[in-house]
Amino acid sequence: MSYPFKEIEKKWQDIWFEKKSFSAADEGGKPKYYALIEFPYPSAEGLHVGHPRSFTAMDIIARKRRMEGHNVLFPIGWDAFGLPAENFAIKHGVHPRESTGRNVANFKRQLKMLGFSFDWDREINTTDPAYYKWTQWIFQRLFKKGLAYKADIPINWCTSCKVGLANEEVINGTCERCGSPVVKKNKNQWMLRITEYADRLINDLDEVDYLDKIKTQQINWIGKSYGAEIDFSVSRDLNIRVFTTRPDTIFGATYLVLSPEHPMLADLGRLISNGPEVRNYCEQAKYKSDLERMDLSKEKTGVMLEGLGAVNPATQEKIPIWVSDYVLMGYGTGAIMAVPAHDQRDYEFAMKYKLPVREVISGGDISVEAYEGDGLLVNSGFLDGLNVEKAKEEIVAWLGTHNLGRSKINYKLRDWVFSRQRYWGEVIPMVQCDKCGWVPVPEEELPVLLPEVKSFISGEDGKSVLEGLTDWVNTKCPKCSGSAKRETDTMPQWAGSSWYFLRYIDPKNMSEFAAKEKLDYWLPVDWYNGGMEHTTLHLLYSRFWHKFLYDEGLVPCKEPYKKRTSHGMILGSDGEKMSKSRGNVVNPDDIANEFGADVFRVFLMFIGAFDLAVMWNTEGLIGISRFLNRVWNTVEKIDVNISLAEKDLRLMHRTIMIVSDRIEKMRFNTAVSEIMSYTNELLAMTAIPKKMIEILCVLLYPFAPHMTSEIWENAISKDTGLMDQRWPEYDSNLITEENVTIAVQVNGKLRGTLDVEKGMSQERLFELVIGDDKLSKYVDRGKVKKVIYVPDKLLNIVAGK
């Protein structure tokens, strides 16, 4: 008979909710512990099974920490601004506030149904004016410190969403959300100077405990590289400045290449004989989508600036200047010195346009491909005979003394495009005055509320909904009271999520984003788990904001998250990403209804290694369901009169050790299998000492809190609740068996096992082998060359033939 999970789960959820069992106090004698999961976007589809995978994991940590005597903060909220709600509004005319509200209610129901130990008193919502007031406030502080600025730059423009995208939202030249091609478009945008923090975002990774691959991703995304800027003279008063990481190859620089967007092209136009051709090429580059421009397989294209040349400062040779879209304006200086012998991209370009290739590093075969490795310098004047590293130093010094160049560090990381031409986001709290320029809306007027609108459809020309609200847009300058216009761009979804973990600390504070004493108490986040897909952008952005707030003296620590882990995705049973169109979506409601929340939770932890992607397979649920029923049935065998035998103690302590360890290492699948084995052992007994059931309840409680709480109440104690129990410590004297099984090998081959007492000597063991009927036949005593003994584990007898 299966246990009545419906009643039990409802009962305990009500108790927890009514008693506020998981509300965190902002002080107290206990050590604090801040466990964080990524707050979800409340989509119309409801909870994805990937959410409870992460939530259950951190819920296990949170519940275990409470039992270990910590004051635990485990909060939840809603990252509720964003495109889907707005797209829904465009389609159905429903205000995003309304649809978002509905979705939040549904998510809440689902999360409660799964029994997560969230502190519901601290629930936050990024679309709540009381929340976004502070998002706007932080933006203004960034502005006041010169870290937010407007720039007229080519942005990524999604042709379908009609919205500017951050570089990070462009996937292979297409829009991350809708997959449409992305083109360049000039737009005056708010930018955040994240590049100013690039070094600190790399260096401070030393202080935190993130998975190595997460650190690597952060470092690679920032993309720091060391090189030099070098000036190539074009005419008496014109220089082209290039950035290169290989200044050592300067003697092999046989031409220069400018990006089609390079500002200098306007000036150079007058000096060249093929101006129209060049202009035409640049125009075309502009209208190419990123998809086309980034297609690596395509042949490189370019146009030479005819009648013009630059002087290679090392060789004094006059070399041609080209324009090509393989050089990007957004990196370095937007101009390069091309060294075809030692850069594959330059090599391909030189081959196509029959440009000279000059070897300056020996070691490769430049008739086949560019050689990018190390070697001795040749054809390089005073650098000849040096290796690459030494030559770099020499040439940079030489360029410096002749005032032709200097060493320079560059980053792949660009400043953060912070503007969106959208309705459903935080209004950027700025006003533009003809006289005073950009002026922040006075702090006491924050938040700038998102105005009500009738239609959510943006203009054909990419004009946003807010731009159409003339009454709202026209306002007075806070400084001079002259006529001024409000900013109509809104913030990206990354804004609200860049600081939400701070608001949890003091969610209802009306006068500050969070009180200092509370921040001092709770920060940093002790453990933050989330999806691998957020380990570059969200993590980088929120670290950037946090560092800024630290510089402002508003938070007590440099890094927001002490420890960061990531869970793998849950794929459909077909091994594909779950999606409506594939029809492979699993609805948590169905699972909870049929099997119960506890089975669902334990199953999610059992399904596979936590950090790897797993396929959903419904069959496995039956195994977990049986397991929990078996646990439920253990109480029938409780015998309060029998005491613990030594072997029971050993089993218990071993299990405590392994389960504790596996939880901390997030190897939940093996923690569960260990509890299963323990349960199997218990059920094999004719009578079970009560203590052993107690331990079973405690160890399983973080995974299956409802049913273990019920068992505890029914069979262990009515007075003290399970959640108030102490997480057990193990006795290291009791974790090993007294008797051990030794694997006996002859010449590395397993020939049998021997059960002996612990700590037996090699000599005695060897005699036992010789005396053993089954084993002795493999060993010819006279021919034994060597015996290898791993105490209490293995004996390997090496013998000649």
Interacting residues with RNA between 609 and 648 (CB under 7 A): 609, 612-615, 617, 619-620, 622-624, 626-627, 629-630
Interface positions, 464-503, toward RNA (CB under 7 A): none
Q: Which two tokens stand for residue 212?
A: 């190595």
- When asked if residue 265 is in the footprint of RNA (CB under 7 A), the reply is no
Cis? peptide before 524, omega within 30° of 0? yes
**Could you give the string, one character per residue 752-771, with x where binding to RNA holds by CB under 7 A and - elsewhere?**
-x------------------
* DSSP secondary structure string for all residues of 375-413: -BB-S-GGGTT-BHHHHHHHHHHHHHHTTSEEEEEEES-
Quick one: which of 435, 774, 781, 783 contacts RNA (CB under 7 A)? 774
Stretch that binds RNA, among 66-74, 134-142, 158-166, 748-756 (CB under 7 A): 748-756
Interface positions, 406-465, toward RNA (CB under 7 A): 410, 412
Please, what is the minimum distance in Å from the beta carbon of residue 676 to RNA?
Answer: 4
Indicate the pairing of strand 416-417 with strand 405-411.
unpaired
Q: Which two tokens stand for residue 555?
A: 């938070």
Quick one: which of 90, 308, 743, 784 contacts RNA (CB under 7 A)? 743
Q: Number of residues in contact with RNA, rule: CB under 7 A?
A: 92
Stretch that binds RNA, among 6-14, 110-118, 704-712, 747-755 (CB under 7 A): 747-755
Q: Which CB sits closer to RNA, 164 or 429?
A: 164
Quick one: which of 205, 386, 683, 685 contacts RNA (CB under 7 A)? 683
Q: Which two tokens stand for residue 125?
A: 């919502």
Indicate the pairing of strand 614-615 with strand 570-571.
parallel
- When asked if residue 783 is in the footprint of RNA (CB under 7 A), the reply is no
Please, what is the minimum distance in Å from the beta carbon of residue 219 to RNA?
Answer: 9
Q: Which CB sits closer to RNA, 295 or 434?
A: 295
Which ranges of 272-378 does DSSP label H, i.e. alpha helix? 275-287, 290-293, 344-353
Q: Which CB sits closer to RNA, 305 or 540?
A: 540
Indicate the pairing of strand 318-323 with strand 303-311.
antiparallel
Quick one: which of 237, 401, 444, 684 contacts RNA (CB under 7 A)? 684
- When asked if residue 110 is in the footprint of RNA (CB under 7 A), the reply is no
Strand stretches in 448-606, DSSP E: 474-476, 483-486, 527-531, 563-567, 570-571
**How big is the chain by its Cα radius of gyration, in Å?**
33
**Could you give the string, one character per residue 321-360, with x where binding to RNA holds by CB under 7 A and - elsewhere?**
----xxxxxxxx-x-x------x-x---------------
- When asked if residue 800 is in the footprint of RNA (CB under 7 A), the reply is no
Gap between the Cα atoms of 586 and 580, Å rounded: 10
- When asked if residue 231 is in the footprint of RNA (CB under 7 A), the reply is no
Gap between the Cα atoms of 773 and 8, Å rounded: 57
Interface positions, 238-257, toward RNA (CB under 7 A): 243-246
Quick one: which of 749, 759, 800, 801 contacts RNA (CB under 7 A)? 749
Cis? peptide before 447, omega within 30° of 0? yes
Biggest CA pair distance of the chain: 107
- When asked if residue 168 is in the footprint of RNA (CB under 7 A), the reply is yes
Classify 265 as helix, strand or coil: helix
Gap between the Cα atoms of 500 and 126, Å rounded: 8
Indicate the pairing of strand 614-615 with strand 638-639.
unpaired
Q: Which CB sits closer to RNA, 226 or 382?
A: 226
Q: Which CB sits closer to RNA, 610 or 712?
A: 610
Element (H, E) at 774: helix 773-776
- When asked if residue 191 is in the footprint of RNA (CB under 7 A), the reply is no
Please, what is the minimum distance in Å from the beta carbon of residue 75 to RNA?
Answer: 27
Q: Which CB sits closer to RNA, 258 or 427?
A: 258
Please, what is the minimum distance in Å from the beta carbon of residue 622 to RNA?
Answer: 5
Gap between the Cα atoms of 662 and 660, Å rounded: 6
Q: Which CB sits closer to RNA, 253 or 592?
A: 253
- When asked if residue 667 is in the footprint of RNA (CB under 7 A), the reply is yes
Q: Which two tokens stand for residue 224?
A: 């720091």
Q: Which two tokens stand for residue 633?
A: 């049935």
Gap between the Cα atoms of 417 and 194, Å rounded: 10
- When asked if residue 536 is in the footprint of RNA (CB under 7 A), the reply is yes
Please, what is the minimum distance in Å from the beta carbon of residue 137 to RNA?
Answer: 30
Please, what is the minimum distance in Å from the beta carbon of residue 626 to RNA?
Answer: 4
Indicate the pairing of strand 170-171 with strand 224-235.
unpaired
3-class SS shares of the chain: helix, strand, coil, % to 5: 40, 20, 40
**Could you give the string, one character per residue 2-41, with x where binding to RNA holds by CB under 7 A and - elsewhere?**
x---------------------------------------
Q: Which two tokens stand for residue 238?
A: 């014109």
How far from each other are the two terminal CA atoms of the chain, in whole angstroms? 61
- When asked if residue 298 is in the footprint of RNA (CB under 7 A), the reply is yes
Element (H, E) at 305: strand 303-311
Quick one: which of 291, 515, 644, 798 contacts RNA (CB under 7 A)? 798
- When asked if residue 222 is in the footprint of RNA (CB under 7 A), the reply is no
Please, what is the minimum distance in Å from the beta carbon of residue 485 to RNA?
Answer: 34
- DSSP single-letter state for residue 525: B
Quick one: which of 23, 172, 280, 714 contacts RNA (CB under 7 A)? 172
